[in-house]
Amino acid sequence: MANITLREIAHSYSGPSDNPDDFALKRLDLTWKNGNCYALLGPSGCGKTTLLNIISGLLVPTLGDVLFDDRVVTKLSTEQRNIAQIFQFPVIYDTMTVFQNLAFPLRNRGRTRKEIEPRVIELAKMLGLENDLYSKAQHLTADAKQKISLGRGLIRQSVNAILFDEPLTVIDPHLKWALRSQLKRLHKQFGFTMIYVTHDQTEALTFADEVVVMYEGAIVQVGTPEDLFERPEHTFVGYFIGSPGMNIVPCRVEGNILRLQEYDLPLDRSYGDLSRFSKIELGIRPEYLSLAPPAAEGVRVDIVKLDDIGSHKIARVRLDDHIFNVIVPELTEMTADQATLVLDPQHINIYGDDIRIGGER
């Protein structure tokens, strides 16, 4: 087991190029610490799978190096790297039984039947496959098949890391939850590094110690779920994480005063000269907005729509051309079509050209 370091990695499917648009993966540096559980989050086509394939060795990056601790493994083949990877759709060997499927990676590495058998039986028990062990893998359900794929990854004890490429896409929601907690348990038990690709934010946030968010071939933020929620480093992260996502609205900032249309609002920190940015925006989560009666002091908004999603309501309110989503508790009575929008200053983030600006207290 080792720390996995990506050093100035970049990848283009059309070979080396001077045009940055050719790169599916823009230059990035990142270290995956041994034994941690990471989620790789991002929209479809942002380069998550490319990154995964580079780590596992299915792809050789156009630029840069992959290191396991201090050893450069960029050119090593997948089997030499000792990495397991589980794909979006279950891959099983149709003609084999469940037992043979699970034993396959060990058999290919020349282990004896004596070594293999107890290990397979133990693993099958852990995955809940022990009853199907001698039946054909072909005829099992999708989730059992995905468990087999998973099992083939786990059967090798010495793997450096297990990479998951959206492994639960084909699984029913109630089984998803069960499989995910099973994965977490196995992770605790074995302590392998886990990198979990997903575009489902709840999956990422509940699962991982650290979340890596990718956008258009670049890593925009690495942080704990809390970081991503409270302090998104990029407007994309704010927008992508959360349901509904962060409200991002153009504004002006002078010192510790936020100017939103004709309203001046206090901020809890002050910002210096922001004239170097072409675009200044404020970002605030719907959770930190609230509505007060229209008569109250503050930002006057029109209520456009009210969606009841069960545990709470989502109000869409309009300030001139800008729409805010506000999460309001179940019992709030909304009679008028106007209200006053209250922003919690502590949770306002200011973005210059999509990048979060720190500010001083």
Partner 1 sequence: MIEKQTNQKAWFMVLPVFLIVAFSAIIPLMTVVNYSVQDTFGNNVFFWAGMDWFRDLVHSERFHDAFLRQLMFSGIILAIEIPLGIIIALSMPKRGWGVPVCLVTMALPLLIPWNVVGTIWQIFARVDIGLLGHTLASLGFDYNYTQDPLAAWITVIVMDVWHWTSLVVLLCYAGLCSIPDAYYQAAKIDGASRFAVFRYIQLPKMHRVLLIAVLLRFMDSFMIYTEPFVVTGGGPGNSTTFLSIDLVKLAIGQFDLGPAAAMSLLYFLVILLLSYVFYTVMSNVGIESSSDGGSQS
Among the listed ranges 78-86, 204-212, 220-228, 299-307, the one in contact with partner 1 (CB under 8 A) is 78-86
Token pair for 276: 């170097």
Rank residues 102 and 211 by Cβ distance to partner 1 and give the closer one.
Answer: 102
> What's the DSSP call for residue 182?
H
Rank residues 58 and 323 by Cβ distance to partner 1 and give the closer one.
Answer: 58
Q: Report, in Å, the least distance between residue 146 CB and partner 1.
A: 12
Q: Is 169 in the site for partner 1 (CB under 8 A)?
A: no
Question: Is there a contact between 48 and 42 (Cβ–Cβ < 8 Å)?
Answer: yes
Total residues contacting partner 1 by CB under 8 A comes to: 36
Q: Report, in Å, the least distance between residue 147 CB and partner 1.
A: 14
Q: Is 58 in the site for partner 1 (CB under 8 A)?
A: yes
Q: Which of 100, 169, 256, 261 is the binder for partner 1 (CB under 8 A)? A: 100
Instruction: Give the C-alpha separation, 47 to 37, whole Å.
Output: 19
Q: Is 99 in the site for partner 1 (CB under 8 A)?
A: yes
Among the listed ranges 65-73, 89-97, 263-271, 325-333, the one in contact with partner 1 (CB under 8 A) is 89-97
Question: Is there a contact between 263 and 248 (Cβ–Cβ < 8 Å)?
Answer: no
Compute φ and ψ for 344, nearest 5 degrees: -85, 110
Among the listed ranges 8-16, 93-101, 252-260, 308-316, the one in contact with partner 1 (CB under 8 A) is 93-101
Q: Which of 39, 83, 140, 315 is the binder for partner 1 (CB under 8 A)? A: 83
Site string for partner 1, 122-141 (x = CB under 8 A): -----------xxxx-x---
Cα angle, residue 96 at apex, residues 90 and 100 outer, rounded to 5°: 95
Q: Are strands 83-86 and 161-165 parallel, antiparallel or unpaired?
A: parallel
Instruction: Give the C-alpha separation, 92 to 108, whole Å.
Output: 15
Burial class (CB in 10 A: 0-12, 13-18, 19+), 307: exposed
Cα angle, residue 175 at apex, residues 171 and 177 outer, rounded to 5°: 105
Residues in the chain: 361
Q: Which of 4, 103, 127, 195 is the binder for partner 1 (CB under 8 A)? A: 103
Question: Is there a contact between 43 and 236 (Cβ–Cβ < 8 Å)?
Answer: no
Q: Which of 2, 96, 142, 323 is the binder for partner 1 (CB under 8 A)? A: 96
Residues 6+ apart with CB under 8 A from 185: none
Residue 323's Cβ-side half-sphere holds a number of Cα atoms within 13 Å equal to 9
Q: Which of 42, 61, 64, 105 is the binder for partner 1 (CB under 8 A)? A: 105
Q: Is 158 in the site for partner 1 (CB under 8 A)?
A: no
Rank residues 82 and 221 by Cβ distance to partner 1 and give the closer one.
Answer: 82
Residue 100's Cβ-side half-sphere holds a number of Cα atoms within 13 Å equal to 11
Q: Is 95 in the site for partner 1 (CB under 8 A)?
A: yes
Q: Is 109 in the site for partner 1 (CB under 8 A)?
A: yes
Instruction: Give the C-alpha separation, 273 to 301, whole Å.
Output: 29
Among the listed ranges 101-109, 221-229, 259-267, 300-308, the one in contact with partner 1 (CB under 8 A) is 101-109
Site for partner 1, rule CB under 8 A: 53, 56, 58, 77-79, 83-85, 87-89, 91, 93-97, 99-100, 103-105, 107-109, 113, 116, 133-136, 138, 149, 152-153
